[in-house]
Amino acid sequence: MLLSCGVDIVSIKRVEKLLERYGDRFIKKVFPEGIEYCYQKRKGELAGCIAARFALKEAIIKALSGIEKKVTLSEIVIIGGGKNLEVKLKNHKEIQLIYSISHEKDYAVAMVNVIKLK
């Protein structure tokens, strides 16, 4: 049963500027763990990869606010990529999510459905 959904879009150029200005400090603050997949990408794809994951975190926060669950960016761990993309919620293991992310040219987008509580 669908309980809530969330969507977010992120400008890849904005993430590029954040990476130029703050470098690893930005990445470590938003992604304290699980970002290794993005570092394996080609140099020009790093910002798109990070933007998609940031959009996913924001979409999760929006979806969970729809069922009155609070979660912070650091509680959301995104591991792997492609078909092996996995999301873990540190303090909300009872929540089940269905999600999709994509990025193309200037934008990254993410969609999340909260389908049921385990």
User: The CATH number of the domain where 10 resides is what?
Assistant: 3.90.470.20
Reading the block at residue 48, the tokens are 């798109």
Is 8 known to sit in a ligand binding site? yes
The answer to whether the beta carbons of residues 63 and 76 sit under 8 Å apart is no
Q: How many residues can be counted in the chain?
A: 118
More confidently predicted of 109 and 94 = 109
Q: What is the pLDDT of residue 101?
A: 96
List own/partner pairs for 29-32 with CB under 8 A and 24 or more apart.
30/54, 30/57, 30/73, 31/78, 32/74
Which residue has better confidence, 76 or 34?
A: 76
Domain count, the chain: 1
- CA gap 62, 47 in Å, rounded: 22
58 is in an annotated binding site: yes
Domain carrying residue 53: 4-117
Report the run of H or E that residue 29 belongs to, with start and end: helix 24-30
Separation in Å, CA 35 to CA 24, 47, 70, 102, 113: 11, 12, 22, 16, 22
pLDDT 10s digits, 14-44: 999 999 999 889 888 888 888 888 888 766 7
pTM score = 0.91
